[in-house]
């Protein structure tokens, strides 16, 4: 984040040579790439080369959207068309001068390995305040955070599976209860004696109790 702020200041104030920061081989420098106002790739630092396997000379002066990043026939392939549309929206928002939040981003590198990360896009301005492009920072979670995210994802999937099973169970119980309700209503229309009506009334109360239990149950209480 310190590097991010430093480069932003350089672009905003046009002070010094920001390239000395972007292309510094220091491992603390994050992967950074950029595009000019027409969408041509104009920045690709050493960290991007290490991350993607593509060298600066292979991507510069190519269309960032469509040639460098795309869902097909590109240097860095995206998972699908939706991922490409999302990237287009973030990049174009930056080119329009809008502030953008960190967006989920993922791509396949030259070797076919998929990388999941966060992407932040910032507008690039000249000394007159005119937007001359964007520069983009890739934020890659630490190994520990990636493991935590994988555990969280597995937990969410297991929770969703349990929720589906619970919904099915509730539905399966409701069906025979509805049949019992219909049967009791039919019985009430027959010639029943007092004792039989009392049993029907008891059955009604049990039915209402079961419905209340089903309505009050949630996944957490079942797990407990």
If DSSP states are collapsed to H, E and C, what string results for 165-181? HHHHHHHHHHHHHHHHH
The reply to whether 94 and 12 lie within a common domain is yes
Do 115 and 40 have their domain in common?
yes
Regarding whether 7 and 104 lie in a shared domain, the answer is: yes
177 shares a domain with 69: no
Tell me how far apart the alpha carbons of residues 112 and 220 are, in angstroms, rounded to a whole number. 40
Cβ count within 10 A of residue 164: 10
Residue 223 lies in a domain: no
40 plus 99 within the same structural domain: yes
> Residue 89 belongs to a domain with what CATH number?
3.30.450.20
Q: Residue 1: what pLDDT? A: 61
Q: Is residue 166 part of a domain?
A: yes
Q: 67 and 28 in one domain?
A: yes
Domain's final residue, options 140, 172, 207? 140
- Is 224 part of any domain? no
* Same-domain pairing of 27 and 127: yes
Last residue of a domain, one of 92, 115, 140: 140
Within a domain: 20: yes
222 found inside a domain: no
Could you tell me if residue 53 is inside a domain?
A: yes
Are 110 and 168 contained in the same domain? no
Rounded Cα distance between 199 and 197, Å, is 5
Query: 47 pairs with which residues across the strands?
Result: none
Q: Which of 140, 174, 198 is the last residue of a domain?
A: 140
Structure tokens at 179: 């049949």
Q: Clarify whether residues 8 and 102 are in a common domain.
A: yes
Q: Is residue 184 part of a domain?
A: yes
Residues with pLDDT less than 70, the chain: 1-20, 23, 142, 144-146, 217-223
Single pTM value for the model = 0.57
**Could you tell me which residues come within 8 angstroms of residue 183 by beta carbon, excluding any fewer than 6 positions away?**
none
Query: Looking at the structure, do residues 21 and 81 belong to the same domain, yes or no?
Result: yes
H-assigned helices in the chain? 2-13, 19-22, 46-52, 56-59, 81-95, 143-188, 194-216, 219-223
> Do residues 15 and 116 share a domain?
yes
Distance CA 100, CA 86 (A): 12
**Domain count within the chain:** 2
Domain contains 191: yes
Whole-number Cα distances in Å, 99 to 22, 92, 127, 197, 201: 21, 11, 19, 71, 65
The dihedral formed by the CA atoms of 19, 23, 28 and 33, expressed in degrees to the nearest 10: 90
| pLDDT attached to residue 15 | 46
Co-location of 35 and 62 in the same domain? yes
Residue 123 bridge partners (DSSP): 134
Domain that holds residue 165: 148-217
């Amino acid at each position: 984040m310190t590097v991010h702020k430093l480069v932003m200041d350089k672009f905003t104030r046009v002070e010094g040579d920001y390239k000395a920061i972007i292309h510094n081989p220091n491992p603390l420098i994050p992967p950074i790439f950029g595009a000019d106002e027409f969408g041509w790739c104009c920045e690709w630092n050493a960290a991007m080369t290490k991350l993607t396997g593509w060298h600066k000379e292979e991507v510069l002066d190519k269309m960032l959207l469509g040639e460098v990043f795309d869902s097909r026939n590109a240097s860095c392939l995206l998972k699908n068309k939706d991922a490409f549309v999302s990237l287009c929206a973030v990049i174009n928002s930056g080119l329009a001068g809008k502030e953008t939040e960190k967006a989920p981003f993922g791509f396949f590198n030259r070797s076919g390995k998929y990388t999941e990360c966060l992407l932040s896009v910032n507008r690039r301005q000249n000394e007159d305040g005119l937007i001359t492009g964007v520069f983009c920072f890739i934020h890659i979670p630490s190994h520990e955070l990636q493991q935590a995210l994988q555990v969280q994802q597995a937990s969410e999937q297991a929770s969703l599976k349990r929720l589906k099973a619970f919904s099915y169970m509730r539905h399966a119980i409701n069906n025979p209860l509805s049949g019992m309700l219909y049967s009791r209503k039919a019985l009430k229309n027959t010639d029943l004696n007092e004792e039989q009506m009392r049993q029907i009334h008891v059955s009604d109360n049990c039915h209402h109790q079961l419905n209340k239990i089903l309505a009050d149950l949630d996944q957490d209480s079942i797990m407990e």
